A and B are shown apart, each in its own frame.
Chain A
Amino acid sequence: MNTGDFVSVNNLLADILTFVNDDTMRNHGFNRGYYISGVQKALEALALQTYFDVRTEDKEFPKEKLATEIPKGAFNIREIYIYNGELCKPKGFAIVQWKRLYNNKGKGDKGTSKRLDSRSSRDPFYPLDSTASGVYYANIQNGTLMFSSNCKGFDYLRIVYNGMGGAIGDEPIIPRLFREAIVDYVVERCFRALKAKDRAYRPLWSDAYQVLNDPKNGSWINAERKIKSLNTWQRDTMQEYLGAMNY
């Protein structure tokens, strides 16, 4: 399921502050930043579990180093393309494949080592050495994306990746269908902190935990279900494809 409908942090705070009885943000010693930080953490946890946050970054291809840092907040690369034309307007592109153990140490052609292709001698453990001259490939190590030398023929790079719901410190952008889960996540987090100050908060924390994490109808599992379910559009198309197959 996808959404283009987003809600503001203040919109969530209106609920959260009521649920934890802190309308003035003076009752428990938590300030506004603490609550927003909770919202961002909830969004991050959802992004890591559901991969909902798909982002695209276009940039110039690093022809000299043949390496670039993966975008901030990215934890999963989905697709990489290299293209010519103008930035953000591809005109003739190629798909970049992943190559295991490829490493150029960010030093262009000179620092390259890889498991297959262009070694100085044949490897007796590999029955078939193959060349990959027509294939564009890359690998990631320590947050650095390293490309094969034949990618030099392209001017721009497009990376499609899963983000973690925005950079830490930015105002979180919250998909509307996550509203309930995020509110419950922050409420649970607040009561967890209050529990450490005063044991009288334990029953409240326990209730909040249950509302959030109930395996059947908790708001968190519901949010996961929502984001992982197919759109009607996608489902119908899938059925058409499957229906047309000649078994």
Chain B
Amino acid sequence: MATYREVVYDISESISQTFDDKNVSLRQIAYWVQMTANKLQQQHFQKKGTSGMYLTIFPSVPVTIDMSSTVFPNGRQYVVLPDVIHSLVGELGIEYITFSRESACCDPAAFTQATFMFTTPAKSQSLYYDPYTKPSEDNPYFYRVGDRIYLLGLECVNLDLLEMGLYTPIDIEKECDLDQQIKLNAELLSVLKYEVTNLSRWSLVVPSDRVNEGADMSTQAITQNKIKIPTITPPQQSQENKRHQEQHQQQQ
């Protein structure tokens, strides 16, 4: 995996080739990199499925229960998500939730013995129709409400801690060390650079293009003020060329 420093400096170098008079801070580029890396992670999940590379395990997440809340439902066991997770269909951002059961050394690993199944509050009703799908200690479920994960089937069991495996995106607020590694597959780095460079080009080009310099009030100039998808040729250069052409025509 590459570090932020390697990628950020590389992109900074590329930007300065085109926009040498712009002042783009490393922090700004690092932010773009994090934002784009999260987007690529999400796309990776959607196209190729989840990957253990982005999995974070939280071994001891405390289970809580509200008794006199006026905002949340009372009497239901829940855990608060210990980190931000990727929002995917079927809550695939949560890889697994389990709790420890007493087991001998030859038994299956404890975390594989009781895995919570995904449900939603509305679907929960139909789970009770069939004895095999009915929520119970052996067949527990979870559903998500905001940053809370509610547990179903453990109403008669007092749990203290749960183990959770979550697919967490890069936390833009927490990761600010340039020497930290970017949590992204190596083969996606080229896509990352392309995306960030595109993003920077968009950010840098559009504002200048929208400034009304008063140089030309013709219909053509007004049309140019509309937002355009940036092209490979920097618009500044094309404007200069145009001015040269106009001067040349006036001289003639």
Contact = CB atoms under 8 A, between A and B. Distances in A.
A169 interface: yes
B118 A33 contact: no
A33 B90 contact: no
A33 B134 contact: yes
Interface string A159-182: 000000000110000000000000
A103 interface: no
B131 A25 contact: no
Given A37-B133, A40-B132, A168-B131, A31 B92 contact: no
A34 B131 CA distance: 10
Interface string A175-219: 000000000000000000000000000000000000000000000
B36 interface: no
Majority SS of interface residues in chain B? loop
B139 interface: yes
A33 B92 contact: no
Nearest to A27: B90
Nearest to A34: B133
Interface string B88-121: 0010100000000000000000000000011100
A10 B119 CA distance: 21
A32 B117 contact: yes
Contact of A36 (B90, B127, B132): B132
Interface in A67-123: none
B21 interface: no
A33 B119 contact: no
B130 interface: yes
Nearest to B134: A33
Given A31-B117, A31-B141, A33-B127, A26 B92 contact: yes
A243 interface: no
A29 B134 contact: no
A74 to B, nearest CB: 19
Nearest to A33: B133
Contact of B132 (A26, A27, A29, A169): A169
A26 B134 contact: no
Given A31-B119, A32-B117, A169 B131 contact: yes
B69 to A, nearest CB: 29
A34 B132 contact: yes
A34 B141 CA distance: 13
A30 to B, nearest CB: 9
Contact of B117 (A25, A27, A168, A169): A25
Interface string A15-26: 000000000011
Given A27-B90, A33-B132, 13 more contacts: A26-B90, A31-B117, A31-B119, A31-B139, A32-B139, A33-B127, A33-B134, A33-B139, A34-B130, A36-B132, A37-B132, A40-B132, A168-B131
Interface of A: 25-27, 29, 31-34, 36-37, 40, 168-169
Going nearest first, the 9 A-B pairs with the smallest beta carbon separation are A33-B133, A169-B131, A33-B132, A37-B132, A31-B117, A36-B132, A37-B130, A26-B90, A33-B139
27 contacts: A25-B117, A26-B90, A26-B92, A27-B90, A29-B90, A31-B117, A31-B118, A31-B119, A31-B127, A31-B133, A31-B139, A31-B141, A32-B117, A32-B139, A33-B117, A33-B127, A33-B130, A33-B134, A33-B139, A34-B130, A34-B132, A36-B132, A37-B130, A37-B132, A40-B132, A169-B131, A169-B132
